A and B are shown apart, each in its own frame.
Chain A
Amino acid sequence: MMTADAFWQIVAIVLIAASLSVPFGRYLAHVFMGERTFLDPLLDPVDRLLYGIIGPAQTSRPMDWKDYAVHMLLTNVLMGVLIYVILMFQGHLPLNPLHFAGVNPELAFNTAASFITNTNWQNYGGESTLSLFSQTAAITFPMFTSAATGLVVAVAFFRSLAAADGGRNLGNFYRDFVRALTRVFLLPCLILTPVLVWQGSPETFTGQAIAHLVQGGLQHIPMGPVASLEVIKHLGTNGGGFFNANSAHPFENPTIITNVLEMLLMMLTPMSLVVAFGRMVRNPRLARVIYGVMAIMLMAALFIAVSAEQGGTPVLAGAGVAIVHGGGQPGGNMVGKEVRFGNTQSAMFDTVSTAFTTGTVNSMLDSYTPVGGMVSLVLMMLNCVFGGKGVGLINFLIYGIFAVFIAGLMVGRTPEFLGKKIEKREILLASLALLVHPLIILVPAAWSLMAPYGVSALGNTSMHGLTEVIYAFTSTAANNGSAFAGLSGNTPWYNIALGVVMLIGRYVSIIFMLALGGSLAAKPAVSETVGTLRTDTLLFGTFWLATILLVGALTFLPALVLGPIAEYFAMHAHLVS
């Protein structure tokens, strides 16, 4: 069980995030429905300048789902190539005070794939690999654009659900993108970076400081434009750290204030997007049901993870460590955790990070208790507990289409969702969109475990080693980016396999989703009758939750049983490996 302090911290953080998400959700709806906001006088000139550079004709024409997808892919490929080239040639580029050589081709591919897909999986340690130019021009840059890509795709999908013109106009990709950049990401980042610096996060183009330590000896302390990266890393649910230790590093996350701020930033847009969805499809009741089910799953995950970490492990108890929190010490499982955060704020941070597909960590998941680590793994397997920029919500809606279909069969009604009939084509596309996820997790994970070059990278043995591999492919497939970091992923196999999984997990899923939206948009709306199965009720919400848990359990239970669940029992039988 958890302490009272922990309980109230969880309740307080979720309540603060929820109360921010309502006004911000309305603001998002305004931005993407082309309505006026109070920021227009300030930002309209910036937008016009960007439209002018990109091309006024291209930024004003309507796009259908195919057009939208093509431009999304085209720009993302170009960004990926740009990042790849910068990383490869960073040795010849400016702002390289520690004189790092170019990144090797496989790692550069993995990193470029990772950052354009909003995954931010890192097979490198930032402070020992990247120049400051790479950290800004190849890492901070895609943190903005991958977040904006995800957001505008979600917006286009929402429009296709509400479309009255058969889906011929889902908006303009470039226009949406520019508005997302200036109004959702850049402005908050500009304002919030100084808050992080005030708390201790560095913001400089000096590469390192050299300290002459109190008891003698030297310490080289690398730094750079850390704070500006940190804000977009969380607001854009990116997660890639400036340093190897990510948000456990005192420069990335120096105090409890930054820890809370970083959590709230991760939660802001995904939660708000559910509110915006309700407005955009003109069905706020449905949005409330979705929000409620997601919030229940999030709270359950937070309670379970925090309790598990506070419970400690038999190995710690056996070594004479105090397990009970109190008396001015943190208790629990402090392996891989920072004193300023303790068990509660650590487990909360990592759980929020995997629910909202950020992937930032302020404590090392590989050293978590079996249950604490499994919470993060399950959240990424379900990939719909708020999730990242729209992806989580779209997955949730796809589960909803299944729920409608199953419930419709059970009570003998024609399945309808948001006023459209669900037929063979929709179920086919929804199945494909959902099946991609387990496929790209389980197949390459099995391959890795059978191959010597897969197993040799493990940092732990037996069940925990299995979990490391499953976790790596789940994290990359869900475009999360957090890791059981004992796995040494910087090998040709993992660089390429994980890179390909990230690309499929992102783009194939997006294309199926947009196609599904296009298919629904092209259908005539059916009017609601007494025979319609209502989806915006508590009853259906419960059924929806059951569908998610059931589909998730059927798909992933064998892997979980062999990994964290077996480990839980082995650990409590006082086994070591």
Chain B
Amino acid sequence: MSRLESFATAVRFTLATWILCGLAYPAIEVAINQVMFPFQANGSLVQVSGKIVGSRLIGQRFLGARWFHGRPSVVNDDPLTSGGSNLGPMSRRLKQHLIQRSMRLRKEHPGLRGVRLPSDMITSSGSGLDPDISPANAYLQARWIARARGLPSDAMDQLIARHLHRPLLGLFGEPYVNVLTLNLALMKTSPEVH
């Protein structure tokens, strides 16, 4: 076997596997999945009266006492730069962030005095785009949202219970609620007055 022939074989081999794995495979999958699951394949985009208001899977910022808030994000909920803080467990900056967030919450909501906060409430996520919060976090926020919107608090609790995701088979994963779904449901029960 000459060197040149070995080289030519390797070139043919590289191009064949490239076309198969790098071009054909993704193209086939796009074609199949655009037909089978068009909603998910295009990013689980949620529309309200014909307008895309976000992706069910991507966190977005909510402000004010009338809405459920997602987790803090170190990338300002910008999907173009996903990521976490990458601060270590004994980082001074991490400590400052946590205490600032905790103080702000406790100042805005005096009812939180003496309450240990759910651990997802003031920690930033790994993706910076976490679309979910824990049920404890949601129930806590429901107290002041109910007050701000003038809704009975058991109506809020029912709303959360209706949108609660439970662990798979009662074992795998954690319970959570999706913030966008919750807020859109909230919008239906008590429309915003603009």
A residues lining the B interface (CB < 8 Å): 5, 8-9, 12, 50, 53-55, 58, 61, 70-71, 74-75, 78-79, 82, 125, 127-128, 136-138, 140-141, 143-145, 174, 177, 181, 186, 189-190, 193-194, 197-206, 209-215, 217, 219-223, 225, 227-229, 232, 243-245, 248-251, 254-257, 259-260, 312-313, 315-316, 318-323, 327-342, 344-346, 361-364, 366-370, 459-461, 464, 467, 484-486, 567, 570-571, 575-577
Q: Bits for B183-194, please: 1 = Cβ < 8 Å to A, else 0.
A: 110010000000
A137 adjacent to B25 (CB under 8 Å): no
Per a CB cutoff under 8 Å, which of B48, B79, B175 touches A221? Answer: B79
C-alpha spacing A53/B15, complex, angstroms:
10
Q: Bits for B123-135, please: 1 = Cβ < 8 Å to A, else 0.
A: 1111111111111
Q: Evaluate whether A460 and B87 lie within 8 angstroms (CB atoms) in the complex, with A225-B29, A328-B175, A340-B174 already known.
A: yes
The answer to whether B141 has its CB under 8 Å from any CB of chain A is no
The answer to whether B111 has its CB under 8 Å from any CB of chain A is no
Contacts of A366 in B (CB 8 A): 84, 86-88
B127 adjacent to A339 (CB under 8 Å): no
Q: Evaluate whether A345 and B174 lie within 8 angstroms (CB atoms) in the complex, with A82-B18, A250-B57 already known.
A: yes
- 8 Å CB interface, B72-112 against A: 77-92, 94-95, 98-99, 101-102, 106
Contacts of A79 in B (CB 8 A): 14, 18
The answer to whether B148 has its CB under 8 Å from any CB of chain A is no
The chain A residue sitting closest to B112, CB to CB, is A320
B89 adjacent to A369 (CB under 8 Å): yes
B98 adjacent to A337 (CB under 8 Å): no
Q: Tell me how far the C-beta of B179 lies from the nearest C-beta in chain A, rounded to whole angstroms.
A: 10
A316 adjacent to B79 (CB under 8 Å): no
For the complex of A and B, the 10 pairs showing the least CB-CB separation, nearest first, are: A141-B22, A256-B173, A329-B118, A248-B126, A486-B86, A328-B135, A464-B88, A329-B136, A342-B174, A319-B98
Per a CB cutoff under 8 Å, which of B9, B87, B116, B126 touches A338? Answer: B126
Contacts of B57 in A (CB 8 A): 200, 250-251, 254
Per a CB cutoff under 8 Å, which of B33, B81, B128, B184 touches A214? Answer: B184
Chain B interface mostly: mixed
Per a CB cutoff under 8 Å, which of A204, A206, A211 touches B60? Answer: A211
**30 A–B contacts, CB within 8 A, in A order:** A50-B16, A55-B9, A128-B80, A136-B26, A140-B21, A140-B25, A194-B32, A194-B36, A197-B33, A202-B41, A211-B52, A219-B58, A229-B26, A243-B82, A244-B83, A250-B57, A250-B131, A254-B44, A256-B168, A329-B134, A336-B86, A336-B125, A337-B125, A338-B132, A339-B132, A459-B87, A464-B91, A485-B86, A571-B90, A577-B92
Q: Tell me how far the C-beta of B152 lies from the nearest C-beta in chain A, rounded to whole angstroms.
A: 21
Contacts of B9 in A (CB 8 A): 54-55, 58, 71, 174
Q: How many residues of B contact A (CB 8 A)?
A: 109
Per a CB cutoff under 8 Å, which of A245, A319, A339 touches B176? Answer: A339
- 8 Å CB interface, B159-183 against A: 165, 167-168, 171-176, 180, 183
Contacts of A345 in B (CB 8 A): 172-174
Contacts of A78 in B (CB 8 A): 10-11, 14
B40 adjacent to A212 (CB under 8 Å): no
Q: Evaluate whether A5 and B171 lie within 8 angstroms (CB atoms) in the complex, with A140-B22, A211-B53 already known.
A: yes
The answer to whether B30 has its CB under 8 Å from any CB of chain A is yes
Contacts of A257 in B (CB 8 A): 168
Contacts of A54 in B (CB 8 A): 9, 12-13, 16
Q: Evaluate whether A181 and B21 lie within 8 angstroms (CB atoms) in the complex, with A245-B83, A256-B167, A460-B88 already known.
A: yes
B127 adjacent to A245 (CB under 8 Å): yes
The answer to whether B4 has its CB under 8 Å from any CB of chain A is no
A260 adjacent to B36 (CB under 8 Å): no
Q: Evaluate whether A219 and B54 lie within 8 angstroms (CB atoms) in the complex, with A319-B95, A464-B91 already known.
A: yes
C-alpha spacing A215/B25, complex, angstroms:
40
A245 adjacent to B87 (CB under 8 Å): no
C-alpha spacing A220/B187, complex, angstroms:
23
Q: Tell me how far the C-beta of B176 lies from the nearest C-beta in chain A, rounded to whole angstroms.
A: 5
Query: Besides A58-B9, A255-B173, A315-B90, 14 other CB < 8 A contacts?
Result: A55-B12, A144-B21, A181-B21, A202-B41, A211-B53, A219-B54, A243-B82, A245-B126, A251-B43, A321-B117, A328-B118, A330-B174, A338-B127, A340-B173
Q: Tell me how far the C-beta of A321 lies from the nearest C-beta in chain B, rounded to whole angstroms.
A: 5
Q: Evaluate whether A315 and B94 lie within 8 angstroms (CB atoms) in the complex, with A197-B33, A459-B86 already known.
A: yes
B86 adjacent to A364 (CB under 8 Å): yes
Contacts of A244 in B (CB 8 A): 81-83
Contacts of B1 in A (CB 8 A): 58, 61
Contacts of B84 in A (CB 8 A): 245, 248, 335-336, 364, 366-367, 485
Q: Tell me how far the C-beta of A4 lies from the nearest C-beta in chain B, rounded to whole angstroms.
A: 10
The chain A residue sitting closest to B55, CB to CB, is A221
Q: Bits for B24-42, please: 1 = Cβ < 8 Å to A, else 0.
A: 0110111011101100111
The answer to whether B6 has its CB under 8 Å from any CB of chain A is yes
Q: Tell me how far the C-beta of A59 lies from the nearest C-beta in chain B, rounded to whole angstroms.
A: 8
A203 adjacent to B29 (CB under 8 Å): yes
Q: Tell me how far the C-beta of B15 lies from the nearest C-beta in chain A, rounded to whole angstroms.
A: 8
C-alpha spacing A245/B131, complex, angstroms:
14
Q: Tell me how far the C-beta of B47 lies from the nearest C-beta in chain A, rounded to whole angstroms.
A: 10
Contacts of B106 in A (CB 8 A): 320
Q: Tell me how far the C-beta of A317 lies from the nearest C-beta in chain B, rounded to whole angstroms.
A: 9
The chain B residue sitting closest to A143, CB to CB, is B21
Contacts of B95 in A (CB 8 A): 315, 318-319, 576
A214 adjacent to B62 (CB under 8 Å): yes
Q: Tell me how far the C-beta of B183 lies from the nearest C-beta in chain A, rounded to whole angstroms.
A: 6
Q: Evaluate whether A203 and B33 lie within 8 angstroms (CB atoms) in the complex, with A190-B25, A222-B79 already known.
A: yes
C-alpha spacing A22/B17, complex, angstroms:
29
Contacts of A198 in B (CB 8 A): 36-37, 40
Contacts of A328 in B (CB 8 A): 118, 134-136, 139, 175
Contacts of A485 in B (CB 8 A): 83-84, 86
C-alpha spacing A333/B98, complex, angstroms:
12
Contacts of B139 in A (CB 8 A): 328
Q: Tell me how far the C-beta of B175 lies from the nearest C-beta in chain A, rounded to whole angstroms.
A: 6
C-alpha spacing A143/B176, complex, angstroms:
33
C-alpha spacing A251/B86, complex, angstroms:
20
The answer to whether B144 has its CB under 8 Å from any CB of chain A is no
Contacts of A50 in B (CB 8 A): 16, 20
Per a CB cutoff under 8 Å, which of A55, A201, A221, A320 touches B117? Answer: A320
C-alpha spacing A320/B85, complex, angstroms:
19
Q: Tell me how far the C-beta of A211 lies from the nearest C-beta in chain B, rounded to whole angstroms.
A: 4
B167 adjacent to A316 (CB under 8 Å): no
